[in-house]
Chains A and B, each alone.
Chain A
Amino acid sequence: MLDLVDVSVEYGKHNKVIPLTNVNFHLEPGDFVTITGRSGSGKTTFVQVCGGLLTPTTGRVMFRNTELHKLNDTELSRIRNTSIGFVFQSFNLVDYLTAAENVSLPLVFSNTPPSERSERAARMLNAMGLSSRTDHYPGELSGGERQRVAIARALVTEPDIIIADEPTGNLDFETSRTVMEIFSEIHRQRRTAILLVTHNPWIADFGEQKIHIIEGTLH
């Protein structure tokens, strides 16, 4: 489904930084891959490339046999909207929207009718155990609740891949475990491919496949 072929990423002109070097990676539907590595090892760059947010300097990123960096902005946005769900460490919810509105935000960009949007958002929040929090703003939610809202937002479009960049980075142990159980549940029930970045070994154990990044190369 997702293939990275000889992908390298370079930043800067004078002081070159090479966070990824000749990376080859293959992700199948239903895979649960955890990526670990030290800070600055290139984990986030790797998932950004996988999610089509970052264009590699060399190499190819193929999603369902389509080369992502050859797509125009609208086509790429469409893939991000419908096939890839992002979950971030700092939740990245929109402050002025309620939990339900945050969850339904991706559907706004896919022109889903409002009634269907509300219905799907409510269903997704219900699945996350947040049915009583639909009208709350992010500021009124706890860290764990916010992350669950973010997961609901990533899932609402029923994507093929969920890319989670340190989703438990800002959470305590108990909440982290709850969140990871949710990921496992999603993986088990929906067979959604999950690409999860963490620097925490016990979280990495949730994955079926573990990858370690050292200085831009996968191990």
Chain B
Amino acid sequence: MITFKDALSLNLRRTGKKKRSGGKKSLAALFTFLFFLICLINGGYGVIAKIVEIFYKTDYHNPNVIMVKADYQNRRFIRPEDLDAVSKLEGVELVQGKLHVSKGHIFLMDRINYIQPETLFGYKDELFKTYCLLPSQNRNPKAIPILLSQNLFNLSYVRDENVFIRRKKEETDLYLGRTFTIIIDPFCGQDYFGWNFFEPDKAYDPVMFFRRAASQQKMVLEYLTKTKPGVVKYCDPLPLKFQIAGYIQDSGGANNPLSAYGVIPLSQARRISQITQLRRESVNQHEDEFRHPKSGKLSSAYVLCKTGFKDSISRSIEKTGLVVERQAVSPNRMITEIIDELKKNTGLIYFGVIILLPFVFFIILSIYKILSVNVKDSIKEIGVMRCIGATRKDIRRMFNQLCFYEVLQVLILSLIAANGTMLAIGFFTAGAFNRIPLKMVHSEIFILISAVGDFSVAWLTAPAWIQILPLIPLIPITFTAAYLPVRKASKVDPVVAMKI
């Protein structure tokens, strides 16, 4: 009987995927194989993240950072003395956190040409509780009201002297654990280059900058004052100030808001601080009004550990009653949430099955038709093989394998296509999220876009096995569809075949 390897070799030759013996396999096949392999190792998103990491020379994942969270149920918040105690633990390099950090922070996402979907959706639960990423005001001046109206974050007010913002990983590392205030002008105008693009030793007229921004800023703040009277009562139309609580681990490259920014020299930062000093004082009078009710207590903090100390530090912190997350953002969380949601809503599963059924029939018919044509085209060849000693079983085996081989290709291509599509959907929904009219914030379409965006990110961040899982039913479906054509191939009469 023909061996598996020989049948594969013949099938590869038949489908033109393998040239004459010893010839080079096509480069495309090699890349496909490598992509699939990397997907298996890293998970789908890992590949993309890795590419981003390589191109942007950033580290999207720092395994030595743990996140300490307050235990809200037991009202165990992070106190200053907790941080002091943590900073004294062996192996702790840096501890981030300061009293003024409260529930929400705003990171300006200005001057970014694109926003990765997870920036807006993927880390929603994790991120929006602690941070809020604001897309460029150039693109969407309504972002803050939208996000606020979703109760995703609260504004907080923090003051500090230094202004830093940074781009590169090594610079980010330098500042991790220290507290900075970013003076943000999230409402900058179209032609306003933003404070983070100040060039050293060049004369600027900050008043001009802020004046341009002020009208938009005021508009938004007025809106906030109306819609969030408890949070925003008054704000001088000045650049707002917020605090970086640490950079987001597990978010890569351009998707890390901090890595997307340039560092401005301290002198420039001070210059801005000085310019705004006078008006800031007036804002300071209202400081209490801007504080989050839980201000004075940290909701979370980041600890940078020395290599090898992560576990011991985590255990020590856990003993104090605080919650420790060993990875700031877990890529598996989204998918787990979706699975949980599916468990709760079995209707969704039925809906999915009903939607999928026509596709299953379509796949069966397609495979049946393709294989039938293949068998018809190969009748003479089957006849020759039968004449020179191939058994019916050999023919069946060859065509079954051909079928399997074709399906394997489809599976790999589906995986690549699915990732590409999800990425595209993610980008699209992120864009839609930015541009959706304010009055539609509570509409179903907005929720749908969010859900689609969530799903795309969940898919992209899902481990490889979850991506492959939906494709597995294709295998039995394929062989069911292939049964008749393969049977027909094995029954080819060599005498009849040779007459063709």
A142 at the A/B interface (Cβ < 8 Å)? Answer: no
Q: Are A53 and B388 in contact, CB atoms less than 8 angstroms apart?
A: no
Q: Are A53 and B387 in contact, CB atoms less than 8 angstroms apart?
A: yes
Q: Are A77 and B495 in contact, CB atoms less than 8 angstroms apart?
A: no
> Provided the pairs A98-B20, A109-B2, A111-B3 are in contact, do residues A80 and B14 lie with their beta carbons within 8 angstroms?
no
Chain A 73-85 near chain B by CB (<8 Å), digits 1 or 0: 1100110111000
Q: Are B389 and A109 in contact, CB atoms less than 8 angstroms apart?
A: yes
State which of A86-94, A124-132, A179-187, A198-206 sits at the interface with chain B: A86-94
Within the complex, the shortest CB–CB distance from B455 to chain A, in Å, comes to: 43
Chain B 383-398 near chain A by CB (<8 Å), digits 1 or 0: 1111111111110000
Chain B residues, Cβ within 8 Å of A54 = 495
Q: Which residues of B contact A (CB under 8 A)?
A: 1-3, 6, 10, 13-14, 16, 20-21, 380-381, 383-394, 494-495, 498
A96 at the A/B interface (Cβ < 8 Å)? Answer: yes
State which of A93, A98, A108 has its C-beta within 8 Å of the C-beta of B2: A108
Chain A 98-115 near chain B by CB (<8 Å), digits 1 or 0: 101100011011110000
Interface size on A, residues (CB 8 A): 31
Chain A residues, Cβ within 8 Å of B393 = 73-74
> Provided the pairs A77-B389, A108-B6 are in contact, do residues A98 and B21 lie with their beta carbons within 8 angstroms?
yes
Within the complex, the shortest CB–CB distance from B140 to chain A, in Å, comes to: 57
Chain B residues, Cβ within 8 Å of A175 = none
CA distance A88 to B495 in the complex (A): 12
A141 at the A/B interface (Cβ < 8 Å)? Answer: no
A-B contact pairs, 10 of them (CB 8 A): A48-B495, A73-B393, A74-B391, A74-B393, A77-B390, A94-B381, A101-B21, A111-B3, A135-B21, A157-B389
- Nearest-CB residue, chain A, relative to B393: A74
A1 at the A/B interface (Cβ < 8 Å)? Answer: no
CA distance A97 to B19 in the complex (A): 9
List the 4 shortest-distance A-B pairs measured between CB atoms, nearest first.
A81-B389, A77-B391, A109-B389, A106-B388
Chain A residues, Cβ within 8 Å of B391 = 73-74, 77-78, 109
> Provided the pairs A73-B391, A77-B389 are in contact, do residues A92 and B21 lie with their beta carbons within 8 angstroms?
no
A216 at the A/B interface (Cβ < 8 Å)? Answer: no
Q: Are A153 and B388 in contact, CB atoms less than 8 angstroms apart?
A: yes
Q: Are A51 and B1 in contact, CB atoms less than 8 angstroms apart?
A: no
Chain A residues, Cβ within 8 Å of B20 = 98, 101, 135, 137
CA distance A66 to B2 in the complex (A): 25
Q: Are B13 and A86 in contact, CB atoms less than 8 angstroms apart?
A: no
CA distance A141 to B388 in the complex (A): 21
State which of B380, B383, B389 has its C-beta within 8 Å of the C-beta of A78: B389
Q: Are A80 and B394 in contact, CB atoms less than 8 angstroms apart?
A: no
CA distance A108 to B3 in the complex (A): 8
Q: Are A106 and B498 in contact, CB atoms less than 8 angstroms apart?
A: no
Interface centre among A77, A82, A153 (most CB of B within 10 A): A77
CA distance A52 to B448 in the complex (A): 67
Q: Are B390 and A109 in contact, CB atoms less than 8 angstroms apart?
A: yes
> Provided the pairs A94-B381, A96-B16, A111-B1 are in contact, do residues A86 and B388 lie with their beta carbons within 8 angstroms?
yes
CA distance A105 to B14 in the complex (A): 14
